[in-house]
Amino acid sequence: SSDKDAISHLLGNRSAQIREETLDQLIDRAPDYPEWHQPLVERPELPPTAAGKLARFVAENLISVLERRKDLKKDQLEAVREVVQRRIASGEFEKREAPAEEPKKKAQKGAPAEPAKGKADGKDAATAAAGEEEEEPAYDKAVAMHAKKKLTDKEVAKALAANDVKFARAALSVLAGIPPEAVTKVLNTHSAKGVVALTWKAGLPADLAVKIQVKLGHVPPSQTLNPRNGNQYPLSEDDMNWQLEFFTGMTTTGLR
Sequence spans of domains, the chain: 11-89, 137-248
**DSSP for 67-122, written as a single string:** HH-SS--HHHHHHHHHHHHHHHHTTSS---PPPPPPPPPPPPTTPPSSHHHHHHHH
The predicted pLDDT at position 106 comes to 42
Name the H helices within 100-229.
Answer: 115-147, 153-161, 165-176, 180-188, 192-201, 206-215
- pLDDT grade for 217, boundaries at 50, 70 and 90: confident
Instruction: Convert the pLDDT of each residue in 141-171 to its tens digit.
Output: 999 999 999 999 999 999 999 889 999 999 9
More confident residue, 156 or 123: 156
Instruction: Convert the pLDDT of each residue in 76-92 to its tens digit.
Output: 999 898 888 887 876 66
The predicted pLDDT at position 200 comes to 97
pLDDT score of 98 more than 60: no
The predicted pLDDT at position 223 comes to 86
- Whether residue 39 contacts residue 23, with contact meaning beta carbons closer than 8 Å, is answered with no
